[in-house]
Structure 1
């Protein structure tokens, strides 16, 4: 997917999806030389999009680790952020907190029904996770999943509703409740990383019960 981006945009994408990385890893992901990768990263640093820190691990030369700045993360903006916040504040003022909760609960129920329809007919857990990941990707969450032994890790590298979720934590709870509801009975879903708690991404451990 990242092959369609210009080199500097590919570097931003890599750091967003993989987190802070050393130069050699970035170069390998970009499929260019380390000098070429360094050139692109320095350009991005001049634009304020990335920054490097130095880490020492045991003996040997200290290693530079590159990461996105707040401005770099802002290249993946919230969808309709300003309108969403205005609507939330207006609903609270006009209808009260209880009414807002009812509206969000109804939205969650609608989302669950839609996801269940999309996952209809899929019986094994990995197939359901794969389709759910594809849906979340289309919705802007930059989602992926990996298998860890008998368990799975569903990762969302971006939160396209970050401002709304920061304003109203019900969105985050709704996300967890939705995953639990659509992945089926005897499936355990636990949030292990949370952007709102300061993590780089949101991640969910998914386990098949007995």
Structure 2
């Protein structure tokens, strides 16, 4: 054991895995705010070129962005990196728990009807927003494709697919960003179904639901 000690001590420590370094970069930006590449490299103990490579990868993933800012509003402008909304979303949030708590208190104080009315009002507001961007004169395929893209922006990872019958379409949501809330309050899923019907102006049937343990939410849109 003693004879081996010098040999072991002389061995270089393994470099951190690239993904671990990227995670540390994100953590530093989260905790310290805008940072230059030099600041990040010094804090993480990596070379400036190495930090630049990781930052470029994170930019390509849409997790960070570069800005030009004056430190404290004074001095020469510096090139700094900050988290994007997508980068912020990689850190744990308690929004779902907060939403469930608010709805629970609303239900206790004002009854089930209050929850339905609140979610209905939210659905109506979203419907108005989407309808403004999806004029009725657009071809059905384009409207459905744009609608799926809008859902994806909200985190549903949605795709539009032709249905089995002529003139029929399907929208498949492969993620539910509101899963915690939907499991506690099925009214949220009911309001989503109304949203589909109101936006598209066509019969819509939900054939599967993530909140019920299925792998995706699948909506069949009839002609």
TM-score normalised over the length of structure 2: 0.54
Q: Is 1:181 aligned to 2:195, yes or no? A: no
Q: Name 1:88's counterpart in structure 2.
A: 103
SS at match of 2:203: strand
Displacement of 1:120: 2.0
Q: Name 1:107's counterpart in structure 2.
A: 122
Q: Following superposition of structure 1 onto structure 2, how do residues 19-98 of structure 1 map, counting pairs within 5 Å?
A: 80-98=95-113
Separation of aligned partners in 2, 1:108 and 1:129: 18
SS at match of 1:146: strand
Task: Call closer, same or farther: CA 1:108–1:84 in 2, change over 3 Å.
Answer: same
**Is residue 163–residue 170 contact of structure 2 (8 Å, CA) maintained in 1?**
yes
Separation of aligned partners in 1, 2:94 and 2:210: 16
SS at match of 2:197: helix
Separation of aligned partners in 1, 2:115 and 2:208: 27
Per-residue Cα deviation, 1:95-122 (whole angstroms, up to 9, x for no partner):
2222222212211111111111121254
Q: Name 1:124's counterpart in structure 2.
A: 139
Higher mean alpha-carbon deviation, 138-147 vs 195-204, is at: 195-204
Q: Name 2:47's counterpart in structure 1.
A: none
Q: Name 2:9's counterpart in structure 1.
A: none
**Is residue 148–residue 160 contact of structure 2 (8 Å, CA) maintained in 1?**
yes
Task: Call closer, same or farther: CA 1:131–1:122 in 2, change over 3 Å.
Answer: farther
Q: Name 2:170's counterpart in structure 1.
A: 153
Separation of aligned partners in 2, 1:188 and 1:78: 36
Greater RCO structure (CA 8 Å; 6+ sep)? 1
Q: Name 2:150's counterpart in structure 1.
A: 135
Displacement of 1:192: 1.3
Task: Call closer, same or farther: CA 1:122–1:83 in 2, change over 3 Å.
Answer: farther
Q: Is 1:190 aligned to 2:205, yes or no? A: yes
Q: Structure 1: which 5+ runs fail to align?
A: 1-5, 7-74
Per-residue Cα deviation, 1:165-185 (whole angstroms, up to 9, x for no partner):
11111111111111011112x
Per-residue Cα deviation, 1:139-169 (whole angstroms, up to 9, x for no partner):
0001111113522110000110011111111
**Is residue 161–residue 170 contact of structure 2 (8 Å, CA) maintained in 1?**
yes
SS at match of 2:176: coil
Task: Call closer, same or farther: CA 1:193–1:78 in 2, change over 3 Å.
Answer: farther
SS at match of 1:199: coil
Q: Name 2:187's counterpart in structure 1.
A: 170
Higher strand share: 1
**Is residue 163–residue 220 contact of structure 2 (8 Å, CA) maintained in 1?**
no
Separation of aligned partners in 2, 1:196 and 1:148: 23
